[in-house]
Chain A
Amino acid sequence: MLGYLVRRILIMIPTLIAISIVIFIIINLPPGNYFTTYIAELQSQGEHANLAKIAFLEQEYGFNKPLWLQYLYWTVGLLHGNMGFSFLYDEPVTRVVGDRLILTFLVSFTTILFTYVVAFPIGVYSATHQYSLSDYLLTFLGFLGLATPSFLFALVLVYLAHVWFGISIGGLMDPRYLDQPWSWGKALSVFAHIWIPVIVIGTAGTAAMIRRLRANLLDELQKQYVVTARAKGLPPLKLLFKYPLRLALNPFISDIGSLLPHVISGAVVVSVVLSLPTTGPMLLEALRSQDMYLAGSFLMFMAFLTVVGVFLSDIALAMLDPRIRFHATAGQ
C-alpha cells in the first residue's frame, strides 16, 4: 500500500503542474487584461480612467512581462499560499473568497450528504424490488429528477414559494446577517435557508445515483455467487450487505473525487438564480471581467480539490478492493 501511495502522490504533482499551465493559458487567451477591460468599460460610460495608476498596477503585477514569467510569479505565489490580488474587489483573493468558501463548502457538503442519504435506501430498495409498483414509481421520479435542469427547478420553487406562501426563498441567510461576523443567530439562519439550495442542487445527482446504484446492484444480484449463497440459505439481508452491496458501491467510491468540484461548478447557475453568496457567482464574475488572479487562483484551488479528491478515492478503492480486474476499461 505504501508503494501505491508514493506512486499516486508522484502522479499528482505533474498533474497539478499541467492543470496550472492550462488554467493560466486559458485565462490569458482573451485579448487584453483586467485593466484594458476596465478602461474600455469606463470609456463606454463616458468616464476617464486614472491611466497613471493603471500603468503603475500593470507594472506592479507584472502584466507587461512575458507570459512565462507571469506564470512563474503566479505559481510561486500559490506555493507560498499567496493567491494574489483581486482587482475587481480591490482585496487579496483569500479575503474575497473567505466567507464564500465556507458557505460553499457547507452547501456542497450538505448536498453530498443529502444525495447519499436519499439515494442509497431508494437505490437498494428499487434494485431488490425490481419491476414492482414502487420500483416503477421511484424510477419515474428518478427520471424526472434527471431530466429537470437545476436552475429551472430553482425558478419553479422561487415562484411557488412566492405565490403560495408569500415568502422569498433566495439567499442563504436573513439579509440582516449579510457581511456580519459569524454568530449563533447567523448560523441558525443559514441552516433555516440551506435546505432549498440543497434540494435544488442535489436532486439531479440523487436521481443519477439512484439509477446507477440500482443498475450496479442488479448486476451483482444476478451473479452466480449470490444464487449459490441464496441456495445455501444465507439470510437475504446478510447476503445483500455482505457482498453485492459492497461491490456495487465501488463506482461511487471512485466518484468521490469528482463529486465536490462537480457540485461547486454545477451550482453556479443555481447560485445566481437563488442569490446564494457562494463562490460560483464570484467565479463567473471574475471570468467575465478577466480578474486573472481571482479566477486563476480559484480555478486552481478547485483543480487541487479534484486531484486530492481523486487521490483519496483511489486510496479508498485500493484499500477496499485491491483486486485484478481483467478486461477493465477506462472509466470503470
Chain B
Amino acid sequence: MDQPIPAFATPTETAAGATWHRYPTAAMVGDYLRAAAGLVPAVAILATTPFSEAGTIVLGGFAAIFAIFGLRTVLRHGTSLEMTDTDLRAIGIWRRTIAWAELDRMKLAYYSTRRDRKSGWMQLELGARSTRLGLDSRIAGFDRLVRRAAAAAAARDLELSETTIANLHALGLAPPERWGGR
C-alpha cells in the first residue's frame, strides 16, 4: 500500500505520563519561506505599480492570505501542546485547552497538491464548546493525538463525517465498530 503521509516524529514524554508535542523547526522553515514567497512579491508589486481597483483587491487579497498564513506559522512555531489523559493544552503564544470530556467536534482531513494525492499532509480540527484547535500532521506525535481524539470522540458518541472515518482508517487507527467506514 502506498504511504502518502511521511512518518510522524516522536513526541517528548514526561514522568507524569503526559506527552509534549511541537512542530519541528525544519517543517516550519518551509512555511516561513512560503509565506515570504507570496507576501514579499505581492507587497512589492502593490507598492511600486499602479493597479486598477480590481487588481488591487485581487493582489491585496493574496497578500492578506500570505500574511495570515505567516502569522499562523509564527503562532504554531511558538506553541507546544501538552496531552494528558484529561485534556489537550496549547501552551505558548496562544493558550487554549480542550477537555477530552467536552470534545464536541473532530474533523480529520487530508490535503495534497499533487494529482496522485501523495506527499500530502493531514489536518486535525478539534473543538470543545467555543474552543477550537487545529493542527497538522507535521507536529511530533500526530498519530498519538489523533488516536486519543478518536477515542474521546467515541466516548462522547460524536457523529464523524465519512471523510474523517476514511482518513482514520487510512492512518491505521481502527475506529470503533459504529464508525465502520468504507
Contacts and interface: CB of A to CB of B under 8 A. Distances in A.
A289 B115 CA distance: 38
Interface string A174-210: 0000000000000000000000000000000000000
Interface in A293-332: 314, 318, 321-332
Contact of A243 (B4, B55, B162): B162
27 contacts: A1-B111, A3-B31, A3-B111, A3-B123, A4-B113, A6-B34, A6-B35, A6-B66, A6-B69, A8-B113, A9-B62, A11-B113, A80-B50, A223-B182, A224-B182, A225-B182, A243-B162, A318-B111, A323-B162, A323-B170, A324-B167, A324-B170, A326-B1, A327-B1, A330-B115, A331-B115, A332-B115
Residue among B1, B31, B116 with most chain A CB within 10 A = B116
B63 to A, nearest CB: 11
Contact of A10 (B34, B51, B110, B170): B34
The 9 closest A-B pairs by CB, nearest first: A322-B109, A324-B170, A4-B111, A328-B117, A323-B163, A324-B110, A323-B166, A330-B115, A6-B69
A331 B117 CA distance: 11
A5 B62 CA distance: 10
Interface of A: 1-11, 79-81, 223-225, 243, 314, 318, 321-332
Given A3-B111, A9-B38, A10-B38, 7 more contacts: A1-B111, A2-B65, A3-B121, A11-B113, A79-B49, A324-B167, A328-B117
Nearest to A7: B113
B116 A330 contact: yes
B68 interface: yes
A223 B124 CA distance: 28
A2 B182 contact: no
B14 interface: no
Interface in B161-178: 162-163, 166-167, 170
B29 interface: no
Contacts of A7: 34, 113
Interface string B11-50: 0000000000000000000010011011000000100011
B136 interface: yes
B182 A322 contact: no
Contacts of A2: 65, 68-69, 72
Contacts of A79: 45, 49
- Contact-residue bracket for chain B: 35 or more
Contacts of A318: 109, 111
Contacts of A331: 115
B65 A6 contact: yes
A225 B179 CA distance: 12
B130 interface: no
Contacts of B109: 1, 318, 322-323
Residue among B66, B68, B113 with most chain A CB within 10 A = B113
Contact of B117 (A8, A9, A80, A324): A324
Contacts of A330: 115-116
A10 B35 CA distance: 10
Contacts of A10: 34, 37-38
A324 B113 CA distance: 12
B36 to A, nearest CB: 11
Contacts of A321: 163
Nearest to B171: A324
A329 B141 CA distance: 29
Contacts of B55: 81
A322 B38 contact: no
Contacts of B66: 6, 9
Contacts of A329: 116
Interface string B47-91: 001111001000000100110110010000000000000000000
Contacts of B52: 81
B2 A323 contact: no
Contacts of B38: 6, 9-10
Contacts of A324: 4-5, 110, 117, 120, 166-167, 170
B37 to A, nearest CB: 6
A272 B58 CA distance: 35
Nearest to B41: A13
Residue among A3, A4, A224 with most chain B CB within 10 A = A3
B65 A5 contact: yes
A4 B37 CA distance: 15
Nearest to B62: A9
Nearest to A4: B111
A161 B151 CA distance: 69
